[in-house]
């Protein structure tokens, strides 16, 4: 029986065209800078984001952790929202690899304003021998808040405030193309307000591997060094770079289809006990607390009926729309999800 996979946009599979690009890739040992596809991808992305240089990374986590390492020293502080991936999922890595203190904002929507930064700066001593705030880490789109687009005017204000206070800005832009498609803005529009920015090839863009970090030349020389330190010294990476290049040159515009499907999913799961985000991009968050059931139990029941979802926390169930599902799948899966809701309601 068919499975409807809404767990994550990381679960996509390479298409036949992408597999052809992988098969035909011109590879060399990137340890010697000889991998043509990887060099081509890095040049293409640096240009697209209007940054001096780019470094191909094994994963979004590697991009983020390398960025932290580039901008901070052991014991420095990073201001971040508690909901962002670097805190919520990578907290251990940030402390163990980055050796930084994450000073977390608790915003209601994942959008950090200058007032939130000031509040964090005043939350503890930073003078004299105390920790120094070196980095503001932002996320766009915001995964935990249903793929919310980080407004560019707020990003500009944050960036300008940080610049005048000696704080660098890292933008975890793993889903930045979703933000671009939703707003009509260009990647370089967002990148101008970040000292480093990342992009994932293996989420909505449908590639099998990798992420890229962009920034100024000197920082990217450091990023290449720390990638190696973190075990990411690449050799015939062109197979993966060719897939990534295919993803970023073919699969951006189609993200609109995923965004429309996210809206459709919310529309079709009609239940006033469930609180949904109003999806701006490809992520649907369902707060099922009022159903009186925990996210893991709800997800298990849906899985029995071949709909795969992700339990984000105790009561939040996440569905991500991507290449894995088309409009008909959304219609069929929503019927199944509605039947699970009815089952839980009748048990009460
Ligand atoms: C916003 C964000 N940043 C970083 C990551 C980490 O990416 P990866 O799984 O490639 O390490 C993810 C993963 O889903 C993410 O959603």
Q: What is the DSSP string of 288-346?
A: -GGGT--HHHHHHHHHHTTEE-EE-SSSEEEEE-STT--HHHHHHHHHHHHHHHHHHHH
Q: Are strands 101-105 and 316-320 parallel, antiparallel or unpaired?
A: unpaired
Same domain, 187 and 221: yes
Q: What is the CATH number of the domain that holds 139?
A: 3.40.640.10
Q: Are strands 310-311 and 53-57 parallel, antiparallel or unpaired?
A: unpaired
Kindly list the protein residues whose Cβ atom lies closer than 6 A to any atom of ligand 1.
10, 59-61, 64, 85, 139, 143, 172, 174, 200, 202, 211
Same domain, 66 and 198: yes
- Among residues 226, 64, 81, 51, the alpha carbon closest in space to that of 144 is found at 81
Same domain, 204 and 267: no
Residue nearest ligand 1's atom 8 by CA: 60
Cα separation, 275 vs 51, whole angstroms: 40
Q: Encoding tokens for residue 236? A: 């015939």
Same domain, 131 and 74: yes
Q: Is residue 7 part of a domain?
A: no
Expressed as residue numbers, the domain containing 147 is 13-250
Cα separation, 47 vs 38, whole angstroms: 14
Q: Is residue 112 part of a domain?
A: yes
- Among residues 90, 39, 30, the alpha carbon closest in space to that of 60 is found at 90
Same domain, 238 and 293: no
Q: Encoding tokens for residue 244? A: 């990534």
Q: Is residue 172 part of a domain?
A: yes
Q: Which residue has the tokens 């993803």?
A: 247
Cα separation, 133 vs 75, whole angstroms: 10
pLDDT tens, position by position, for the chain (348 residues)? 899 999 999 999 999 999 999 999 999 999 999 999 999 999 999 999 999 999 999 999 999 999 999 999 999 999 999 999 999 999 999 999 999 999 999 999 999 999 999 999 999 999 999 999 999 999 999 999 999 999 999 999 999 999 999 999 999 999 999 999 999 999 999 999 999 999 999 999 999 999 999 999 999 999 999 999 999 999 999 999 999 999 999 999 999 999 999 999 999 997 888 999 999 999 999 999 999 999 999 999 999 999 999 999 999 999 999 999 999 999 999 999 999 999 998 887
Q: Is residue 51 part of a domain?
A: yes
Cα separation, 15 vs 208, whole angstroms: 10
Q: What is the CATH number of the domain that holds 284?
A: 3.90.1150.10
Same domain, 238 and 294: no
How many domains, the chain?
2
Q: Give the pLDDT confidence score for residue 35 in this predicted structure.
A: 98
- Burial pattern 82-95, b for ≥16 Cβ within 10 A else e, equals ebbbbbbebeebbe
Q: Is residue 5 part of a domain?
A: no
Cα separation, 14 vs 23, whole angstroms: 12
- Residue to probe by mutation, ligand 1, list 7, 61, 142, 147, most atoms within 8 Å of CB: 61
Q: Give the pLDDT confidence score for residue 12 in this predicted structure.
A: 96
Q: Encoding tokens for residue 184? A: 């009509």
Ligand 1 midpoint to CA 245 (Å): 19
Ligand 1 midpoint to CA 56 (Å): 15
Query: For the whole model, what pTM was predicted?
Result: 0.97
Cα separation, 71 vs 197, whole angstroms: 13
Ligand 1 midpoint to CA 342 (Å): 33
Same domain, 55 and 173: yes
Q: Is residue 127 part of a domain?
A: yes
Task: Indicate the SS3 state at residue 213.
Answer: strand
Same domain, 77 and 157: yes
Q: Give the pLDDT confidence score for residue 347 in this predicted structure.
A: 81
Q: Encoding tokens for residue 299? A: 């997800």
Beta-carbon count within 10 A of 266 CB: 20
Asked whether the beta carbons of 138 and 120 are under 8 A apart, the reply is no
Q: Give the pLDDT confidence score for residue 270 in this predicted structure.
A: 76
Ligand 1 midpoint to CA 276 (Å): 22
Asked whether the beta carbons of 243 and 201 are under 8 A apart, the reply is yes
Ligand 1 midpoint to CA 85 (Å): 7
Picking from 250, 268, 303, the residue at the C-terminal end of a domain is 250
């Amino acid at each position: 029986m068919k499975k409807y996979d809404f767990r994550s946009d990381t679960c996509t599979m390479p298409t036949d065209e992408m597999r052809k690009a992988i098969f035909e890739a011109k590879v060399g040992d990137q340890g010697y800078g000889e991998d043509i596809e990887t060099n081509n991808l890095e040049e293409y992305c640096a240009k697209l984001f209007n940054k001096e240089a780019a470094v191909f990374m094994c994963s979004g986590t590697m991009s983020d952790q390398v960025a932290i390492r580039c901008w901070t020293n052991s014991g420095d502080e990073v201001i971040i929202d508690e909901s962002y991936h670097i805190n919520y999922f990578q907290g251990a890595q940030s402390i163990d690899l980055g050796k930084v203190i994450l000073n977390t904002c608790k915003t209601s929507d994942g959008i950090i304003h200058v007032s939130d930064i000031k509040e964090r700066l005043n939350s503890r001593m930073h003078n004299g021998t105390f920790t120094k705030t070196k980095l503001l880490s932002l996320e766009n789109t915001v995964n935990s808040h249903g793929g919310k687009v980080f407004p560019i005017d707020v990003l500009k204000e944050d960036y300008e405030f940080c610049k005048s206070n000696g704080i660098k800005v890292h933008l975890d832009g793993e889903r930045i193309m979703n933000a671009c498609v939703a707003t009509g803005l260009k990647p370089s529009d967002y990148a101008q307000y970040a000292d480093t920015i990342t992009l994932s090839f293996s989420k909505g863009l449908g590639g099998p591997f990798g992420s890229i970090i962009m920034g100024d030349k000197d920082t990217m020389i450091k990023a290449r060094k720390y990638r190696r330190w973190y075990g990411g010294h690449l050799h015939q990476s062109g197979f993966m770079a060719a897939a990534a290049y295919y993803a970023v040159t073919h699969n951006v515009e189609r993200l609109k289809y995923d965004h429309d499907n996210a809206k459709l999913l919310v529309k079709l799961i009609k239940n006033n006990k469930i609180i949904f985000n109003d999806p701006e991009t490809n992520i649907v968050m369902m707060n099922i607390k009022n159903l009186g059931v925990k996210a893991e139990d709800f997800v298990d029941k849906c899985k029995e009926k071949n709909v795969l979802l992700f339990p984000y926390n105790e009561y939040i169930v996440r569905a991500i729309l991507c290449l894995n599902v088309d409009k008909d799948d959304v219609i069929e899966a929503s019927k199944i999800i509605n039947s699970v809701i009815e089952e839980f309601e009748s048990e009460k």
